[in-house]
Amino acid sequence: MPKALFIISFMLLSSLSFAQTSKIDSLSKVKKEKQILQLEEQLKEYRADSTSIETDLQQKKIDLHALQLESQSSANRNYELAAKLRKDAHDKSAARQAEKAAREAGKLAKKVRSADNAVQKYEKKLRKLTKNISSDEKKLAKLKAALQLLNNASASQTGS
């Protein structure tokens, strides 16, 4: 009788500890699955933002190139008018044209600097997003591996 009571109590205690372990494993699995879903959603957002920024960046680069060409032609025109003014320093018409060309060249140079800053800002955003995507992909791979280990461990416990 005491031997049977001992065996029954041992079986009861071992089943309770197994139930607690499986409950903890189950909670751990659910938590990891939730983290995986959140990371996958974040990655989708990052990739969508990345695509959007890439297209905006390409357009900004095209705009910058066009502004650079326009600015260069304006600077050339300013140089020509300044040279013309040097030949005849008392020509009021040439002075006005040279002044107007200089103002226009200055405005265009300012637009080029602004466009260049915008391109740099978009490139920085794209680098940051690429870094975040890479980091989150690594985290996702680790979480999936950990979840697979939990699944294998729980399968071996239920199988034995």
C-beta separation of 63 from 115 below 8 A:
yes
Confirm if 29 and 150 have CB atoms less than 8 A apart.
yes
pTM of the model: 0.70
DSSP string, 38-65: HHHHHHHHHHHHHHHHHHHHHHHHHHHH
Average pLDDT for the chain? 86
Minimum mean pLDDT range among 18-22, 23-27, 64-68, 140-144: 18-22
Mean pLDDT over residues 70-83, rounded?
A: 94
Our measurement of the distance from residue 61's CA atom to the centroid of its chain's CA atoms, rounded to an integer in Å, reads: 19
Angle at 89 between CA 87 and CA 95, to 5 degrees: 105
> Could you count the other beta carbons within 10 Å of the beta carbon of residue 115?
19
Q: Where are the domains of the chain?
A: 45-137
